Amino acid sequence: MNNIPRLTFLVIAVVIAFSVSFVVYKKMSTPNVVMEQKPGQATTDIAVAVKDMSRGSKIGSEDVQMATYLQETLPSGHFTDLEQVVGRIVLSPLTTTEPILNSDLAPQDLTKGGLAAVITPTKRAMAIKVDNVIGVAGFLHPGHLVDVLVSIEKPGDTRSQITKTVLQNILVLSVGTLAQESADKKVHKVTVVTLEVDLEEGEKLALAVNEGRIQLALRGYSDVEPVLTRGITKTSLLKSYSPDVFKTVKGGKTAVKKTAPRRARAHHVIEVMNGNEVKRVRIAK
């Protein structure tokens, strides 16, 4: 008989604990996108994303919802009607609860998603196959900026190669994999990077891929200034940090050591005649 009150108390405690846990779970799982409102402040409902959406995605009715924002904090280009965004194509990646702005979407006449919807006018999408080294070890993602370097035979000298930066600030549109069958009949996955280029840049990229070996160099978002280079050959590469090229000056800085051109040594030429054969022998002074 003494165990009945204890059992009743235990059941009540379990029910209370379950109820509190359920309430906390519901509060935590429901995103709170409503701005804190003070009495008397005007608000407006605007369209926000329910989930993350990438470039080229087509917005469906299940992808958006209305959220309340203070009128004084409304972002420029917002939408107050879900019908205005449903069916539109995403140009800039959206995150959950982020307000959907007109600048994030493609023009209304573009109703089909995919890569073609996000290409800048006058630009083209060009795909190249890369490996883990060329593709910056898998760290490339859509929206990144890259430079394209090519190692190719030096014009007029097939025995010498030159590496040169041929394209800069090129936008990465997409990164994916492609199944390709090799010579041993095995299927290998190949990484394909799609770059956004204009026609002239596309011609350079095609020639670089077909005639040489390319390398992609990832740039920082804030680094957009072009850098002019002369390219580098094996000879200039091996002179890097050479004591004949650099010398230490005051202040710990390095300066290029200027070397005077060597003068040709003077010499005598003696002709030696042996029958019909004439030999010329050079003798230094």
Q: What confidence score (pLDDT) does residue 129 get?
A: 86
Into which CATH architecture does domain 43-116 fall? Alpha-Beta Complex (3.90)
Q: Which residues pair with 163 in a beta bridge?
A: 151, 232
pLDDT exceeds cutoff 70 at 93 = yes
Examine the pLDDT at 91 and tell me if it is beyond 70.
yes
DSSP 75: P
Identify which has the larger pLDDT, 196 or 264.
Answer: 196
pLDDT of residue 191: 83
Cα–Cα distances in angstroms (integers) from residue 253 to residues 146, 244, 256, 270, 283, in the given order: 31, 16, 10, 51, 45
- Mean pLDDT, all residues of the chain: 79
pLDDT in tens, 47-79: 999 999 887 788 999 999 999 998 888 899 999
CA angle (206, 209, 213) in 5-degree steps: 155
* 248 membership: H or E segment, kind and range: strand 246-248
Single out the residue of 256, 262, 229 nearest to residue 240, CA to CA: 256
Distance CA 42, CA 70 (A): 6
Confidence at residue 24, expressed as pLDDT on a 0 to 100 scale: 74
Residue 113 has pLDDT above 90, yes or no: no
Statement: residue 201 has pLDDT above 90:
yes
pLDDT tens for 225-279 read 889 998 998 888 888 877 765 555 555 555 555 555 555 556 666 666 666 666 6
Vertex 144 angle, CA 139 and 147, to 5°: 90
Closest CA to 219 of 150, 167, 151, 168: 168
Higher pLDDT, 107 or 37: 107
Looking at residue 120, what is its pLDDT? Answer: 81
pLDDT of 154:
83
Q: How far is CA 271 from CA 67, 189, 276, 280, 284, in A?
A: 100, 69, 12, 4, 14
User: Can you give the pTM of this predicted structure?
Assistant: 0.55
| Range in 102-111, 159-168, 210-219 with the lowest mean pLDDT | 102-111
Q: Is pLDDT of 187 > 80? A: no
Confidence tier at 182 by pLDDT (50, 70, 90): low
- pLDDT digits 0-9 by tens, 146-169: 999 999 988 877 678 899 999 999
Residue 38: pLDDT above 90? no
